[in-house]
Amino acid sequence: MDTSGPTRRLTRLCSRHWLLHRFLDPLYRHAERRGYDPLVRENAERLLERAHVERLTGGPQAAEAAEAALDRFAVLAAKGDADAAFRVAEAHRRGFGRPRNHWKALEHYQLALDLGHPEAETRLRQVRDGEAVDDASFEASGRAALLRATYAPDQGLRRARTLAQGARELRREGVGHRGAVILLGLALAVLGYLALDIYFFGMGAWRPDPGRVVWGLFGKIHPPRGTGVGPVLPGWLRPDAGSVTFAVDDVIHGRAGSYRLADFRGKVVYLHVVDGHHPTVHEAVPYLHGLDGRRGPDFESFILYVPGVERVQDVHFAIQWALDIAPAVATNAKAVRPLGAVAAFPANFVIDRKGRIRQRWTGFSEAITEEAIKGALAEK
């Protein structure tokens, strides 16, 4: 499989971004092992430029970088690269990257001439005749490399230096870089929390309750349907459902009024939530009727109808006469938003004594419901 294309693209990416420069050497070594000559030449040019910068700035690694660059040019020369052979010859003549050796220089100039390098014949004659050779091009390339390294760092490095300068200015003004990052993180966290809370529950229903946001994020998939009662939520994670509002108009037993779940603090509340597609809940009728008779100081039970397109009053009477139970009717869908995303019906909720959602599941099972209610009543 030819991997030269991906290797070349990765090399270009790493060379453009200073944070990725550390990956250049492994990529170039991989190219050398695979014999990708264009990338070998590119690496040799890069190393030679680094050697020039080290030489002109008095760096200790000039000789090492130059030797590494000429090693790669020697490999290319052996493969018939005229320019590489000429560079090796120049290195032997100058003693930069290769030991100074008159005969080696002549040998490589001859090789470059045989391969068709345009300057090799002139340079070969000058060296044989002992003429002075002008090295202006060598010095000019070194100065150009130094100028690039000094005044033309890549865009990412300039951006990093600008950020560092801004951090120093903040530190001088009394706000450290770490403090600024912490403040920015806190601001983003608060804004993200507000956006999620408003997204899931609406602007009018906003309250500072992080548990509701977690409930909104995971309520649609937690717990899985058809696998039993939902897990008991930890106390710190239980979303507050106290603002859920509904009305009860019991024309049979003479009980009526508007309520919030917060009115039942101190009691365990079981909600069997239905919509217009389940107005009679035939399967659950006998059990729900029995729960209606178990209301007391510690327990309340409601069928909570969430209105859709149907007329609320008609459905209210339909449920009451079918079940002999007065259903609780939410004023609108927004009134039950603290319960989270209710996507399937019937949905079941057990509210603990503090008005927080303790468990949630979908479908109906008498055994599951009894287990959840008994667990909530056992909590103090």
* CA 179/CA 42 separation, integer angstroms: 43
Q: How many structural domains is the chain composed of? A: 2
Residue 189 lies in a domain: no
Q: Which amino acid is at 96?
A: F
* CA 362/CA 230 separation, integer angstroms: 9
Structure confidence at residue 223 (pLDDT): 38
Residue 205 lies in a domain: no
- The structure tokens listed for 127 are 């060296």
* CA 217/CA 219 separation, integer angstroms: 6
| Average pLDDT of adjacent 10-residue blocks, the chain of 380 residues | 72 72 79 85 87 85 88 90 91 88 89 89 86 80 78 63 68 64 86 75 58 64 46 78 80 70 92 69 77 88 72 51 66 76 80 90 85 90
Structure confidence at residue 48 (pLDDT): 87
Residue 178 lies in a domain: no
Residue 126 lies in a domain: yes
Q: Are residues 141 and 240 in the same domain?
A: no
Domain span including residue 313: 235-378
In contact, 361 and 246? CB cutoff 8 Å: no
Residue 216 lies in a domain: no
Question: Among the three residues 151, 181, 214, which one is the final residue of a domain in this structure?
Answer: 151
Interstrand relation of 268-274 and 255-260 (parallel, antiparallel or unpaired): unpaired
pTM value is: 0.45
Q: Are residues 252 and 361 in the same domain?
A: yes
